[in-house]
Homo-oligomer: A and B are copies of this chain.
Amino acid sequence: ARPRVGYYFTGKTGAEVPLAEIKERKVGEYQSIPVVVGESDSVYDAISAMFLEDVGTLFVVDQASRLAGVLSRKDLLRASIGKQELESMPVSIIMTRMPNITVCKKDDLLIEAASLLIERQIDALPVVNGEDNHPYEVVGRVTKTTMTKALVDLVQTERPLGGDRS
């Protein structure tokens, strides 16, 4: 006798979903909106932006809106305990500059971006458009928060993605 429809046991539970699925996920499926400041903005304005937008990393763009630098919370904390005036110091003095910025693209594998965060000991990667050796357009960000969410969503497939679990 065939089992009743609706009670068919496939022998697979959520816990047996193949890992192949997460291996093939792309950065573009997980990226968040980037938060950017201009390279002539002050360190004080950058700190304000970091609090207002509640992000741990800011990307710095030039006048043509191309990626010029990255500011971590650590960079801003280091500057803020220095003796200089934060209102008159441009972020370009303290930012990490191209070509020392690690970037990724939306078609890169999420897991490769996660590896880069660990290897380079950074909290976030800008997701960029454009050819290498040309100024990049910043189109997104992926962070350790992105990866923590991906781990939770991967394992807890019973729960709706992005749902409120509190």
Contacts and interface: CB of A to CB of B under 8 A. Distances in A.
A149 interface: yes
Contacts of A47: 77, 81
Interface stretch (A1-9, A14-22, A130-138): A14-22
A164 to B, nearest CB: 8
Interface in A91-149: 111, 114-115, 117-119, 121, 123, 143-145, 147-149
Given A81-B44, A111-B155, A119 B166 contact: yes
A33 interface: no
Contacts of A118: 145, 148-149, 152, 165
A32 to B, nearest CB: 13
Nearest to A166: B119
Contacts of A151: 22, 111, 114, 147-148, 150-151, 154
A144 B148 contact: yes
Contacts of A20: 13, 15-16
Given A15-B23, A80-B81, A111-B155, 15 more contacts: A13-B20, A17-B19, A19-B154, A19-B155, A51-B74, A73-B74, A73-B77, A77-B77, A77-B80, A111-B151, A111-B156, A115-B156, A143-B144, A148-B151, A151-B151
